[in-house]
Amino acid sequence: MLKPHLKKGAEPERIGKVVIGTVAGDIHDIGKDLVVFMLDVNGFEALDLGIDVPVEKFVDAIKASGSTVVGLSGFLTLAFDSMKDTIDAIKDAGLRDQVKIMIGGGQINDEVKSYVGADAYGRDAVEAVKLAQGWIGG
């Protein structure tokens, strides 16, 4: 009974929340998990939605958490369109102005960033942390 409370009390204050997941149709999560780990140890609350994440799940998580940063991961070329669909759904939900969106994964580059309409592309987990710090602080 006491332990959860003690643990909660010992939790350091989090800098901000980042909703993150591997986009629909893609199950690669090794790279994403490294990003989640690095965000976590650098003081962010990473809300990990897992793999093959449907667009509505991203939208719902942003609404529920009030998160201001979103991370989309994908390793397949088909992930480009899933990322675009996800960002379009975020726009359609009227949430695009309240979030910064970073993307990353094996085949991702700046050209893909422009195609999908993200704010930034991060090459690795360290860059993901730097992007989140630039947008949220910390």
Site residues (vs ligand B12, CB under 6 A):
25-32, 34-35, 71-73, 75-77, 102-107, 122, 124-125, 127-128
| Nearest residue to ligand B12, by Cβ distance, number only | 104
Smallest gap, in angstroms, from Cβ of residue 94 to ligand B12? 22
Please say which residue, 1 or 96, places its beta carbon nearer to ligand B12. 96
Of the pair 27, 41, the CB lying nearest ligand B12 is at 27
Closest distance to ligand B12 from the beta carbon of 65 (Å): 16
Q: Are 70 and 120 in contact (CB under 8 A)?
A: no
Distance of closest approach, residue 73 Cβ to ligand B12, in angstroms: 3
DSSP H helices in 1-138:
2-10, 30-41, 55-65, 78-92, 110-116, 125-136
Q: What's the closest the beta carbon of residue 26 comes to ligand B12, in angstroms?
A: 4
Identify the CA nearest to 44 among candidates 4, 97, 102, 3.
102
> Between 107 and 114, whose beta carbon lies closer to ligand B12?
107
Given a contact cutoff of 8 angstroms between Cβ atoms, the answer to whether 107 and 137 are in contact is: no
117 neighbors 86 (Cβ within 8 angstroms): no
DSSP label of 29: -
Q: Using an 8 Å Cβ cutoff, are 96 and 119 in contact? A: no
Spatial contact of 16 and 64, defined as CB atoms under 8 Å apart: no
Q: Which is nearer to ligand B12, 10 or 25 (CB)?
A: 25
CB of 1 to ligand B12, least distance (A): 36
Closer residue to ligand B12 in complex, CB, 67/73:
73
